Amino acid sequence: MKRILAPSILAADFKALGDQMKQTEENGAEYLHFDVMDGMFVPSISFGMPVLKSIHGATSQVMDAHLMVQEPIRYIEDFKKAGADIVTVHLEACTDIRKTIAKIRECKMKAGVSICPETPVEEVQFLLPEVDMLLVMSVHPGFGGQKFILESLDKIRRIRKVIEEQKLNTDIQVDGGIYLSNVKEVLDAGANVIVAGSAVFNGNPGENTRAFMEILNAYE
Ligand code: DX5
Ligand code: ZN
């Protein structure tokens, strides 16, 4: 199973975003994680389609859009036009999750579904065969720089077990509070797509990316 790093640009220095993205790309980060916050589903507001549109041509990284947005079905086409490759929506934010996933597929993007820390695995298990990726939030969505919620590890283990039992190839992405010091525990639990914002963009993004990729590439 390929292990992928998805640096979250929420933590980037927007004065130097182009250069910082390049540093993550040149050092092996395959995805770029794009945290869209609407101030309704989560308390913060971050950025949206115009920023994605302006950056997606500047990198070959996979544009991994995480929509922390109420009723995201309204914006799927816009994110497709802006250059998203993957759109992940929150189970808790959709009136009709299946209709939303179908819309993402209709727009020829990979579909992800995300659950907040307080949402049990049982509520999303039924969707595993229908999505490309399951995003387990290891912090309460809305802010970067939070502490990893340790109970997330058991959720990841349980989801990995279901994926293996059902012989699915759904990716497990984990997002929030992941650093060089705890990423191995997250991999051990069964995640294969790692989101890191602060740990990549605080300090030297190139060096931080390289350090993460050393761990991901060496992981058996
Ligand atoms: C939080 C976002 C996360 C966050 C990760 O709602 O979804 O992607 O930016 O940030 P760090 O890695 O700084 O915890
Ligand atoms: Zn995110």
pLDDT digits (tens, 9 = 90+) for 56-96: 889 999 999 999 999 999 999 999 999 999 999 999 999 99
Return the C-alpha torsion angle 10, 13, 15, 16, nearest 10: -110
- Of ligand 1's listed atoms, the one at least distance from the Cα of 37 is 6
User: Rounded to an integer, what distance in angstroms lies between the CA atom of residue 67 and that of residue 77?
Assistant: 13
Ligand 1 atom closest to 140 (CA) = 6
pLDDT of residue 127: 98
Q: How many angstroms is it from 144 CA to the middle of ligand 1?
A: 4
Is residue 211's pLDDT more than 90?
yes
Tens digit of each residue's pLDDT (9 = 90 or more) over 108-142? 999 999 999 999 999 999 999 999 999 999 999 99
DSSP state of 140: -
Give the pLDDT of residue 56.
Answer: 85
Place of tokens 């544009």: 63
Confirm if 158 and 121 have CB atoms less than 8 A apart: yes
How remote is the CA of residue 34 from the centroid of ligand 2, in Å? 7
- pTM comes to 0.98
Query: 63 by DSSP, 3-state: which?
Result: strand
